[in-house]
Homo-oligomer: A and B are copies of this chain.
Amino acid sequence: MVRENFDRKLRHIRDEVLLLESMVENAIRESVVSLKARDLETARQLIAADKEINTKRLDIENETLVLIATQQPAARDLRFLASVIDLASELERMGDYAKGIAKINLMMKEEPFIKPLIDIPAMARKATDMLHRATEAFISGDVETAYAIPLEDDEVDALYNQVYRELLTLIMENPRHITQATYLLWAAHNLERTADRVTNICERVIYMVTGRLIELDDQQRKDEEATG
Protein backbone atom coordinates (compact mmCIF):
# COMPACT_ATOMS: atom_id res chain seq x y z
CA MET A 1 0.00 0.00 0.00
CA VAL A 2 2.86 2.36 0.66
CA ARG A 3 4.59 4.45 -1.99
CA GLU A 4 1.95 3.66 -4.58
CA ASN A 5 2.65 6.90 -6.30
CA PHE A 6 6.34 6.10 -6.58
CA ASP A 7 5.61 2.58 -7.72
CA ARG A 8 3.32 3.92 -10.37
CA LYS A 9 6.06 6.16 -11.64
CA LEU A 10 8.54 3.29 -11.65
CA ARG A 11 6.12 1.19 -13.66
CA HIS A 12 5.69 4.00 -16.08
CA ILE A 13 9.42 4.23 -16.63
CA ARG A 14 9.59 0.49 -17.11
CA ASP A 15 6.89 0.70 -19.75
CA GLU A 16 8.75 3.50 -21.46
CA VAL A 17 11.89 1.43 -21.55
CA LEU A 18 9.96 -1.44 -23.09
CA LEU A 19 8.52 0.91 -25.64
CA LEU A 20 11.92 2.30 -26.51
CA GLU A 21 13.26 -1.21 -26.83
CA SER A 22 10.51 -2.23 -29.23
CA MET A 23 11.12 0.92 -31.28
CA VAL A 24 14.82 0.11 -31.53
CA GLU A 25 14.30 -3.56 -32.21
CA ASN A 26 11.88 -2.68 -34.95
CA ALA A 27 14.26 -0.13 -36.43
CA ILE A 28 17.08 -2.65 -36.66
CA ARG A 29 14.91 -5.35 -38.17
CA GLU A 30 13.31 -2.99 -40.68
CA SER A 31 16.63 -1.41 -41.64
CA VAL A 32 18.05 -4.78 -42.69
CA VAL A 33 14.82 -5.93 -44.37
CA SER A 34 14.61 -2.71 -46.34
CA LEU A 35 18.31 -2.96 -47.21
CA LYS A 36 17.80 -6.41 -48.62
CA ALA A 37 14.67 -5.27 -50.48
CA ARG A 38 16.40 -2.03 -51.52
CA ASP A 39 13.28 -0.30 -50.15
CA LEU A 40 14.42 3.32 -50.05
CA GLU A 41 11.10 4.65 -48.79
CA THR A 42 11.25 2.60 -45.61
CA ALA A 43 14.87 3.58 -45.21
CA ARG A 44 13.91 7.23 -45.28
CA GLN A 45 11.15 6.63 -42.75
CA LEU A 46 13.58 4.85 -40.46
CA ILE A 47 15.97 7.77 -40.57
CA ALA A 48 13.19 10.08 -39.59
CA ALA A 49 12.00 7.69 -36.90
CA ASP A 50 15.40 7.79 -35.22
CA LYS A 51 14.52 11.27 -33.99
CA GLU A 52 11.69 9.74 -32.01
CA ILE A 53 14.03 7.24 -30.50
CA ASN A 54 16.41 10.00 -29.48
CA THR A 55 13.56 12.00 -27.96
CA LYS A 56 12.21 9.00 -26.12
CA ARG A 57 15.64 8.29 -24.71
CA LEU A 58 15.99 11.85 -23.46
CA ASP A 59 12.50 11.68 -22.00
CA ILE A 60 13.31 8.52 -20.14
CA GLU A 61 16.57 9.88 -18.84
CA ASN A 62 14.90 13.09 -17.73
CA GLU A 63 12.04 11.30 -16.05
CA THR A 64 14.48 9.03 -14.27
CA LEU A 65 16.59 11.89 -13.01
CA VAL A 66 13.48 13.67 -11.78
CA LEU A 67 12.48 10.54 -9.90
CA ILE A 68 15.92 10.32 -8.37
CA ALA A 69 15.80 13.97 -7.40
CA THR A 70 12.32 13.89 -5.93
CA GLN A 71 11.74 10.39 -4.58
CA GLN A 72 14.99 9.53 -2.79
CA PRO A 73 15.13 6.00 -4.14
CA ALA A 74 17.44 3.56 -2.44
CA ALA A 75 18.70 0.05 -2.98
CA ARG A 76 16.95 -1.81 -5.77
CA ASP A 77 14.86 1.18 -6.84
CA LEU A 78 17.94 3.28 -7.25
CA ARG A 79 19.81 0.55 -9.07
CA PHE A 80 16.84 0.13 -11.36
CA LEU A 81 16.79 3.83 -12.16
CA ALA A 82 20.54 4.04 -12.64
CA SER A 83 20.32 1.07 -14.98
CA VAL A 84 17.45 2.61 -16.90
CA ILE A 85 19.58 5.63 -17.73
CA ASP A 86 22.32 3.38 -19.04
CA LEU A 87 19.88 1.16 -20.87
CA ALA A 88 18.22 4.07 -22.59
CA SER A 89 21.52 5.36 -23.83
CA GLU A 90 22.51 1.92 -25.10
CA LEU A 91 19.20 1.57 -26.90
CA GLU A 92 19.57 4.99 -28.41
CA ARG A 93 22.99 4.05 -29.79
CA MET A 94 21.52 0.88 -31.25
CA GLY A 95 18.91 3.07 -32.87
CA ASP A 96 21.76 5.05 -34.38
CA TYR A 97 23.18 1.84 -35.84
CA ALA A 98 19.83 1.08 -37.43
CA LYS A 99 19.75 4.58 -38.84
CA GLY A 100 23.28 4.00 -40.16
CA ILE A 101 22.12 0.91 -42.01
CA ALA A 102 19.18 2.83 -43.45
CA LYS A 103 21.57 5.51 -44.68
CA ILE A 104 23.79 2.89 -46.26
CA ASN A 105 20.71 1.71 -48.07
CA LEU A 106 20.20 5.23 -49.44
CA MET A 107 23.85 5.69 -50.35
CA MET A 108 24.26 2.43 -52.20
CA LYS A 109 24.02 2.96 -55.93
CA GLU A 110 21.38 1.15 -57.92
CA GLU A 111 23.62 -1.81 -58.49
CA PRO A 112 23.01 -5.47 -57.82
CA PHE A 113 24.34 -7.02 -54.64
CA ILE A 114 27.83 -8.35 -55.07
CA LYS A 115 26.85 -11.27 -52.89
CA PRO A 116 23.54 -12.70 -51.67
CA LEU A 117 22.42 -10.92 -48.46
CA ILE A 118 22.06 -13.89 -46.12
CA ASP A 119 24.52 -13.48 -43.27
CA ILE A 120 23.63 -9.86 -42.57
CA PRO A 121 19.90 -10.55 -42.05
CA ALA A 122 20.91 -13.52 -39.92
CA MET A 123 23.07 -11.21 -37.79
CA ALA A 124 20.17 -8.80 -37.47
CA ARG A 125 17.83 -11.57 -36.40
CA LYS A 126 20.25 -12.81 -33.82
CA ALA A 127 21.06 -9.34 -32.48
CA THR A 128 17.43 -8.27 -32.15
CA ASP A 129 16.60 -11.55 -30.51
CA MET A 130 19.37 -11.07 -27.98
CA LEU A 131 18.28 -7.52 -27.40
CA HIS A 132 14.71 -8.55 -26.84
CA ARG A 133 15.57 -11.23 -24.37
CA ALA A 134 18.06 -9.03 -22.54
CA THR A 135 15.44 -6.33 -22.09
CA GLU A 136 12.98 -8.91 -20.81
CA ALA A 137 15.59 -10.16 -18.40
CA PHE A 138 16.00 -6.57 -17.25
CA ILE A 139 12.32 -6.13 -16.60
CA SER A 140 11.95 -9.45 -14.82
CA GLY A 141 15.31 -9.19 -13.06
CA ASP A 142 16.38 -12.55 -14.50
CA VAL A 143 20.06 -12.86 -13.69
CA GLU A 144 20.57 -16.28 -15.25
CA THR A 145 19.43 -15.15 -18.65
CA ALA A 146 21.60 -12.08 -18.24
CA TYR A 147 24.63 -14.29 -17.70
CA ALA A 148 23.71 -16.53 -20.65
CA ILE A 149 23.00 -14.02 -23.40
CA PRO A 150 26.52 -12.57 -23.76
CA LEU A 151 27.77 -16.05 -24.59
CA GLU A 152 25.57 -16.00 -27.68
CA ASP A 153 27.49 -12.99 -28.90
CA ASP A 154 29.97 -15.51 -30.33
CA GLU A 155 27.45 -16.46 -33.01
CA VAL A 156 27.14 -12.88 -34.16
CA ASP A 157 30.91 -12.48 -34.08
CA ALA A 158 31.30 -15.61 -36.17
CA LEU A 159 28.84 -14.34 -38.73
CA TYR A 160 30.61 -11.00 -38.79
CA ASN A 161 33.99 -12.61 -39.37
CA GLN A 162 32.52 -14.63 -42.17
CA VAL A 163 31.02 -11.53 -43.83
CA TYR A 164 34.31 -9.73 -43.32
CA ARG A 165 36.38 -12.41 -44.99
CA GLU A 166 33.88 -12.85 -47.81
CA LEU A 167 33.84 -9.14 -48.55
CA LEU A 168 37.66 -8.87 -48.47
CA THR A 169 37.83 -11.73 -50.93
CA LEU A 170 35.29 -10.04 -53.18
CA ILE A 171 37.28 -6.81 -53.12
CA MET A 172 40.46 -8.58 -53.97
CA GLU A 173 38.68 -10.35 -56.79
CA ASN A 174 37.29 -7.15 -58.15
CA PRO A 175 38.38 -3.72 -56.86
CA ARG A 176 35.27 -2.21 -58.38
CA HIS A 177 33.25 -3.92 -55.64
CA ILE A 178 35.10 -1.90 -53.09
CA THR A 179 32.41 0.74 -52.45
CA GLN A 180 29.54 -1.67 -51.98
CA ALA A 181 31.73 -4.03 -50.03
CA THR A 182 32.76 -1.27 -47.65
CA TYR A 183 29.09 -0.31 -47.18
CA LEU A 184 28.06 -3.84 -46.42
CA LEU A 185 31.03 -4.15 -44.08
CA TRP A 186 29.81 -1.13 -42.13
CA ALA A 187 26.33 -2.59 -41.96
CA ALA A 188 27.67 -5.85 -40.60
CA HIS A 189 29.89 -3.95 -38.21
CA ASN A 190 26.89 -2.02 -36.90
CA LEU A 191 25.03 -5.24 -36.23
CA GLU A 192 28.04 -6.70 -34.51
CA ARG A 193 28.27 -3.61 -32.32
CA THR A 194 24.58 -3.94 -31.55
CA ALA A 195 25.07 -7.42 -30.22
CA ASP A 196 28.05 -6.20 -28.21
CA ARG A 197 25.91 -3.57 -26.59
CA VAL A 198 23.41 -6.20 -25.52
CA THR A 199 26.16 -7.39 -23.24
CA ASN A 200 26.12 -4.04 -21.53
CA ILE A 201 22.40 -4.43 -20.93
CA CYS A 202 23.03 -7.81 -19.39
CA GLU A 203 25.64 -6.31 -17.11
CA ARG A 204 23.03 -3.82 -15.96
CA VAL A 205 20.57 -6.61 -15.22
CA ILE A 206 23.10 -8.22 -12.95
CA TYR A 207 23.90 -4.90 -11.36
CA MET A 208 20.27 -4.13 -10.78
CA VAL A 209 19.57 -7.45 -9.11
CA THR A 210 22.76 -8.03 -7.17
CA GLY A 211 24.16 -4.54 -6.85
CA ARG A 212 27.44 -5.58 -8.41
CA LEU A 213 28.87 -3.93 -11.51
CA ILE A 214 30.93 -6.52 -13.35
CA GLU A 215 32.22 -6.90 -16.89
CA LEU A 216 30.71 -9.83 -18.67
CA ASP A 217 32.51 -9.48 -21.94
CA ASP A 218 36.18 -9.51 -21.14
CA GLN A 219 36.67 -12.81 -22.87
CA GLN A 220 34.66 -12.13 -25.99
CA ARG A 221 35.89 -8.65 -26.48
CA LYS A 222 39.46 -9.71 -26.63
CA ASP A 223 38.86 -10.94 -30.15
CA GLU A 224 36.67 -8.15 -31.27
CA GLU A 225 37.93 -4.97 -29.87
CA ALA A 226 40.93 -4.88 -32.05
CA THR A 227 38.57 -3.33 -34.51
CA GLY A 228 36.98 -0.88 -32.08
Residue positions of A touching B, CB distance < 8 A = 54, 58, 61-62, 65, 68-69, 72-75, 78-79, 82, 85-86, 89, 96-97, 99-101, 103-104, 107, 168, 171-172, 175, 178-179, 182, 186, 189-190, 193, 213, 215, 221, 225-228
Residues on B with C-beta less than 8 A from A65 are 78-79, 82
Instruction: Please name the residue on chain B nearest to A90 by beta carbon.
Output: B89
User: Is B58 a contact partner of A227 (Cβ separation < 8 A)?
Assistant: no
Residues on B with C-beta less than 8 A from A179 are 168
- What CA separation (Å) do A61 and B207 show in the bound complex? 12
A186-B100 CB under 8 A given contacts A78-B65, A85-B85: no
- What CA separation (Å) do A103 and B58 show in the bound complex? 35
- What CA separation (Å) do A228 and B103 show in the bound complex? 10
A97-B228 CB under 8 A given contacts A68-B78, A172-B175: yes
A185 CB to nearest B CB, Å:
9
- Looking at A68, A96, A168, A221, which has the most chain B CB atoms within 10 Å of its CB? A68
A92 CB to nearest B CB, Å:
10
User: Is A228 a contact partner of B82 (Cβ separation < 8 A)?
Assistant: no
- What CA separation (Å) do A75 and B226 show in the bound complex? 40
Select which of B68, B69, B74, B213 is within 8 A of A58 by beta carbon: B213
A142 CB to nearest B CB, Å:
22
User: Is B82 a contact partner of A225 (Cβ separation < 8 A)?
Assistant: no
Q: List 19 A-B contacts (CB under 8 A).
A: A58-B213, A61-B213, A69-B75, A85-B86, A97-B228, A99-B225, A100-B226, A100-B227, A101-B228, A103-B226, A104-B227, A107-B226, A168-B179, A171-B175, A171-B178, A172-B178, A186-B226, A189-B228, A190-B228
